[in-house]
Amino acid sequence: MKKQVDDNSFNRFAAWFDMLIKDHGFLRLCYNNFHKVNHNIYRSNMPTPMRIKKYSEIGIKTIVNLRGVRKDGGWLLENEACKKYNIRLVDFRARSRAAPEKEMIFNAEKLFNEIEYPALIHCKSGADRAGIMCALYMLIYEKEKPEIANKQLSWKYLHVKWAKPGVLDSFVKEYGVEYKKSKQKFMDWVKKKYDPIMLEKNFRSIWWVNRLVDDILKRE
C-alpha cells in the first residue's frame, strides 16, 4: 500500500483534492474543533499538514488517527507531514455508531500506556470517535469519574447524542450507574459486566437526527 504522496505536481494536487473535496476537508479549514483536554491530550478533527506543523511547534509528540490506515489523500498527506515534523502517527480504529467493543477498549488501554505525550486524538469531525476516545483516556489513564469523562461527549465538540453516536453516551452513562452503586473500577466493569450487544439493543436514536448527521453533515 502506498504510504506517501508521489513527488509530482499532479499526484500532490490529487491528494489535496481528495482531502479537501471528497473528504469535505474544506469545512475543516474554517473550523478545526481543536481543544485541550488536559496537559497530556488534545483533540480535533482531521488535521491538514499546516496544522500538523503548528502542533509540532506546541510540543505534540504523537497523533492518534481514529480513522485507521486509509488510501485517500488526507491520510497520505497526514502521514507525510508527521514524518516531516517528527511526530509519531498512530493509526487506530474506533467506531462512532456502535457500542465500543471490548477488544477496542483493551487496545486503547495499551495505547494510552505506550504513546508519548502530549498527544492529539482526531477522527474526521472531532466529535464522536475523538469524544469516546478522550472519555476512555479519562477513565483508563487518568482514573476520572464517569461524569467527568462524559463531558468529552458534548455539543461543545459537535457531538449529537440524539443520533446514532449517542450510543457512546449510553456506554459511559451505563458505567456511571454501576460506579454509583459499587465504585467498581472501569476496566473491571468492562471485563466482568459490560455487554455491548445489550447496550446497542437498548439504545434508540431519532430518525430525523440521523438523517441530518449522516446524510447532510456526512459524518462518519
The more confident residue out of 210 and 32 is 32
Is 155 among the domain residues? Answer: yes
Q: Does a structural domain hold residue 93? A: yes
Alpha-carbon span 47 to 122, nearest angstrom: 8
Query: Within a domain: residue 143?
Result: yes
Q: Which domain range does residue 93 map to?
A: 9-216
Please state, in angstroms and rounded to a whole number, the distance separating the CA atoms of residues 165 and 99: 9
- Asked if residue 1 is part of any domain, the answer here is no
Question: Whose grid coordinates read 489523500?
Answer: 73
70 occurs within a structural domain: yes
For range 154-167, the mean pLDDT: 93
Number of independent structural domains in the chain: 1
Among 180-184, 190-194, 208-212, the least confident range:
208-212
pLDDT band at 71 (very low <50, low <70, confident <90, very high): confident
Q: What is the pLDDT of residues 44-54, one digit of tens each?
A: 999 999 999 99
Task: Answer yes or no: is 89 within a domain.
Answer: yes
Nearest 10 degrees: CA dihedral of 48, 52, 55, 56?
-170
H helices of the chain, where? 9-17, 25-28, 49-57, 73-84, 102-114, 129-140, 146-149, 166-182, 186-192, 196-202, 207-210
Q: What is the pLDDT of residues 98-127, one digit of tens each?
A: 999 999 999 999 999 999 999 999 999 999
Output the pTM of the full model: 0.90
Residue 2 forms part of a structural domain: no
Residue 4 belongs to a domain: no
Smallest CA-to-CA distance from 111 within 146, 78, 138, 137 is with 137
CATH of the domain at 124: 3.90.190.10
